[in-house]
């Protein structure tokens, strides 16, 4: 007769006593497989810690897989094809993880050395296992069948697996949650998640013999666990509390103070208790040392973006050392993840460090602070101190300072470097307190120096290599200066002219080709003890203006001036070239000398230059042009015309010419 027939007919006198044998051939042929990278969580049913491989197994009923995470909380893979997978338990030898899989009516065993190796054990065609625990050499599971809950066992000690159902004559509203503890291996606790109902069973005979029950005080239970010694059971959820029940008679003997919304409980092998609650403000996890009901640690689940995660139901588990606590959480987007809380049993030491806002260089300043913890830290507790500054960017140890009375400390130091100086104080922690490091930063005043530059206030011919001399006063180590040029106009960037060390007299000279009006700046970057400094001068540069004449038949001097001679019946041109700037125009000037000195012609208008800075004025042959009159032409750049302020006003050269037959 198969399991399905036993469950369906209930014709045998004691279903709880029936053992149903399964041959090895009855095991599922197609076991779930490990899927690398498919490790996101859409829900959390239970979690368990594999210390050997530093791995956490998290059941995900919604996705139907078990996520595998490392001890940083990073999900790396999953065991898939486990519909509705819920409760988890570790084998006593830590080699197997057992999981309840209601969607396939089975218990599965995952080899922790090779997560691809999964063995399945059918529980019955209509049996839906929801929780699982290991005790008294068997696997126990809470299950639902035909709308009711009960407890079953799976015995793997013989040649073939043996399943026994209906272990509790008392009906359950749903599959009960189960708990066991290595401290009392023959005890099993069960609680109802939908109604009041808490029971304890003695497993000494190989069957679940109920020894105590409480149907009134605990209410619906979200999670439960034995104390490490098995003398009490702790439930989360009843009356929003973490209630402690005496195992012998299930009378309430106290509680663990925490927040409303109790939904998780975990007990480490050393007896440390973690109590969790589903809250969005304030502490969500409370840690209690063995034998105490005063929390040594309270933990919130706030995020860097000012949001707060909530603790998943039954979402707490300890590593076997009882040091690190793992918490399954859910964010506001409904995404699940894992938090790792290192040294969870230690209280958080609080450290403050204070320094003046500013301080003079090379003079003593005082660093003060306070270190507090629960229990209070004794006077003489050592603190490691380091100074971080421009001369010791990775930190220079200042040795060990001792804590004074009432957690207060102070020490003096003389910073030689100026600028940002940071004091780093570290408490390394102890058996009762977490390590903590804090810093405080003081602005240490730099030594002042002098810096000047000469060569400004002059107007230079176009292209002149103008000298600019820098003089630097006293500094600590840096004797290098930079000279920068910022030419007028929006089309030229600021550029480094040169860089170098001043001589023994503190002097450095740079030369710059002046083609525009330019601001020249000397820059001293400073050093670890001397403040930075800059000095600026401005110098002007004339525009480059060249005018020539073409079409002359000869050139000759008249007096001291060179004249171009042009036949009146021949064409000629006057050509002007000027250093260019976008939109630049020049002002022409024409004068004549008929023997009584130079006389200007009518007022001229500005003439635009071509994009290359040239202008060619062709003059046609004209036999009627007066002959023998001395003429001259000049082009000028006028600063400020149409907003062109790039150069100093510049008058070009006169070109002289005369018409002849």
DSSP symbols for 400-418: EEE--GGGEEEEEE---S-
Contact present, 209 and 197 (Cβ < 8 Å):
no
pLDDT tens string 277-313: 999 888 999 999 999 999 999 999 988 788 889 999 9
Task: Return the top range by mean pLDDT from 122-131, 170-179, 620-629.
Answer: 122-131
What share of the chain in percent tops pLDDT 90?
Answer: 82
What is the average per-residue pLDDT within 4-10? 27
Quick one: how far is CA 423 from the chain centroid? 23
- Residue 238's pLDDT is 65
Q: Indicate if the pLDDT at residue 29 is higher than 70.
A: no
What is the average per-residue pLDDT within 2-28? 32
**Lowest-confidence range among 236-240, 348-352, 507-511?**
236-240
Mean of all residue pLDDT scores within the chain: 91
All structural domains of the chain with their residue ranges: 257-345, 350-444, 451-541, 545-660
**Is-above-0.75 flag for pTM?**
no
What's the angle, vertex CA 605, arms to CA 639 and CA 579, rounded to 5?
40
- Residue 302's pLDDT is 86
Cα dihedral 116, 117, 123, 125 sign? positive
CATH topology of domain 545-660: Immunoglobulin-like (2.60.40)
Within the chain, what is the greatest distance between any pair of CA atoms?
149
Distances (CA, A) of 114 to 20, 34, 35: 29, 9, 12
CATH architecture of 451-541: Sandwich (2.60)
Q: Indicate if the pLDDT at residue 6 is higher than 90.
A: no
Cα dihedral 209, 215, 219, 220 sign? positive
- Residue 267's pLDDT is 97
CATH 2.40.10 corresponds to the domain 257-345: yes
pLDDT tens string 62-119: 999 999 999 999 999 999 999 999 999 999 999 999 999 999 999 999 999 998 899 9
The strand pairing partners of 229, in sequence order, are none
- Residue 195's pLDDT is 85
DSSP symbols for 102-168: GGGTEEEEEESS-TT-EEEEE--TT-EEEEEEEETTEEEEEEEETTEEEEEEEE-SSSS-EEE----
Q: Indicate if the pLDDT at residue 23 is higher than 50.
A: no
Contact present, 126 and 155 (Cβ < 8 Å):
no
Contact present, 594 and 551 (Cβ < 8 Å):
no
User: Which strand (E) or helix (H) includes residue 315?
Assistant: strand 310-318
Q: Indicate if the pLDDT at residue 131 is higher than 80.
A: yes
The pair of structure tokens assigned to 329 is 């959480």
- Residue 7's pLDDT is 28
What is the average per-residue pLDDT within 511-540? 98
CATH number of 350-444: 2.60.40.2470
Q: Indicate if the pLDDT at residue 19 is higher than 70.
A: no
pLDDT tens string 381-427: 999 999 999 999 999 999 999 999 999 999 999 999 999 999 999 99
Name the pLDDT band for 37 (thresholds 50, 70, 90): very low
Residue reference for tokens 């440390």: 272
- Residue 304's pLDDT is 78
What is the average per-residue pLDDT within 514-519? 98
Name the pLDDT band for 18 (thresholds 50, 70, 90): very low
The pair of structure tokens assigned to 473 is 């006063």
The pair of structure tokens assigned to 515 is 């083609």
The sheet that has 232-236: what strands, in order across it? Answer: 223-226, 232-236, 242-246, 252-256
HSE (CB half, 13 Å, CA atoms) of 445? 12
Distances (CA, A) of 512 to 308, 451, 469, 653: 62, 19, 11, 25
Q: How far apart are CA 323 and CA 54, in angstroms?
A: 13
Q: Indicate if the pLDDT at residue 594 is higher than 60.
A: yes
What is the average per-residue pLDDT within 440-459? 98
| Residue 548, number of CB atoms within 10 A of its CB | 13
What's the angle, vertex CA 551, arms to CA 545 and CA 555, rounded to 5?
80
Q: Indicate if the pLDDT at residue 430 is higher than 80.
A: yes
Decide whether 257-345 matches 350-444 in CATH topology.
no
Pairing of strands 480-487, 518-524: antiparallel
What is the average per-residue pLDDT within 132-147? 96
């Amino acid at each position: 007769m198969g399991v399905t027939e036993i469950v369906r007919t209930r014709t045998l006198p004691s279903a709880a006593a029936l053992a149903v044998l399964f041959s090895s051939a009855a095991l599922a042929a197609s076991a779930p497989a490990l899927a690398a990278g498919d490790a996101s969580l859409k829900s959390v049913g239970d979690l368990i810690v594999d210390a050997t491989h530093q791995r956490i197994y998290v059941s995900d009923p919604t996705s139907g897989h078990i996520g595998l995470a490392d001890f940083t909380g990073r999900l790396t893979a999953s065991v898939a094809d486990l519909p509705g997978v819920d409760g988890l338990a570790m084998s006593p030898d830590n080699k197997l993880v057992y999981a309840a899989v209601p969607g396939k009516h089975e218990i599965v065993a995952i080899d922790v050395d090779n997560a691809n190796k999964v063995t399945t054990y059918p529980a019955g065609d209509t049996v839906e296992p929801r929780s699982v625990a290991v005790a008294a050499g068997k696997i126990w599971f809470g299950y639902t069948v035909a709308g009711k809950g009960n407890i079953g066992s799976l015995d793997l000690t013989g040649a073939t697996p043996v399943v026994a159902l209906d272990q509790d004559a008392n009906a359950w509203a749903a599959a009960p949650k189960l708990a066991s503890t290595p401290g009392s291996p023959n005890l099993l606790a069960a609680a109802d998640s939908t109604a009041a109902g808490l029971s304890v069973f003695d497993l000494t005979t190989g069957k679940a013999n109920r020894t105590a029950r409480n149907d009134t005080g605990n209410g619906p239970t979200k999670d439960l666990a034995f104390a490490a010694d098995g003398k009490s059971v702790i439930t989360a959820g009843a009356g929003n509390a973490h209630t402690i029940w005496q195992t012998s008679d299930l009378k309430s003997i106290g509680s663990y103070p925490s927040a409303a919304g109790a939904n998780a409980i975990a007990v480490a092998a050393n007896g440390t208790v973690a109590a969790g609650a589903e809250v969005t403000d304030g502490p969500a996890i409370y840690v209690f040392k063995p034998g105490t009901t005063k929390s040594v640690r309270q933990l919130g689940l706030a995020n860097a973006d000012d949001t707060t995660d909530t603790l998943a139901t039954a979402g707490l588990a300890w590593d076997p050392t009882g040091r690190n606590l793992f918490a399954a959480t859910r964010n506001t987007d409904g995404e699940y993840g894992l938090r790792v809380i290192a040294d969870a049993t230690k209280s958080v030491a609080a450290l403050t460090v204070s320094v003046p806002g500013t301080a003079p260089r090379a003079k003593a300043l005082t660093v003060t602070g306070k270190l507090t913890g629960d229990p209070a830290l004794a006077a003489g507790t050592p603190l490691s101190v380091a100074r971080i500054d421009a001369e010791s960017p990775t930190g220079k140890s200042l040795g060990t300072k001792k804590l004074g009375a009432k957690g207060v400390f102070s020490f003096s130091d003389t910073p030689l470097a100026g600028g940002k100086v940071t004091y780093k104080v570290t408490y390394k922690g102890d058996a009762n307190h977490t390590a903590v490091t804090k810093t405080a930063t003081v602005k240490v005043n730099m030594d002042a120096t002098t810096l000047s530059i000469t060569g400004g206030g002059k107007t230079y011919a176009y292209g002149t290599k103008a000298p600019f001399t820098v003089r630097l006063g006293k500094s600590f180590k840096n004797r290098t200066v930079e000279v920068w040029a910022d030419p007028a106009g929006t089309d030229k960037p600021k550029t480094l002219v040169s860089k170098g060390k001043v001589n023994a007299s503190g002097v450095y000279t740079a030369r710059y080709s002046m083609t525009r009006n330019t601001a020249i700046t000397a820059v001293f970057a400073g050093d670890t003890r001397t403040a930075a400094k800059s000095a600026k001068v401005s110098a002007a540069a004339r525009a480059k203006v060249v005018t020539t004449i073409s079409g002359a038949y000869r050139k000759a001097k008249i007096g001291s001036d060179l004249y171009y001679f042009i036949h009146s019946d021949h064409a000629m041109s006057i050509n002007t070239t000027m250093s260019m700037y976008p939109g630049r125009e020049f002002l022409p000037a024409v004068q004549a000398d008929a023997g009584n000195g130079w006389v200007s012609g009518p007022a001229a208008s500005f003439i635009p230059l071509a994009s290359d800075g040239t202008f060619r004025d062709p003059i046609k042959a004209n036999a009627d042009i007066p002959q023998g009159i001395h003429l001259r032409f000049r082009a000028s750049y006028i600063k400020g015309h149409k907003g062109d302020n790039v150069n100093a006003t510049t008058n070009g050269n006169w070109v002289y010419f005369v018409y002849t037959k």
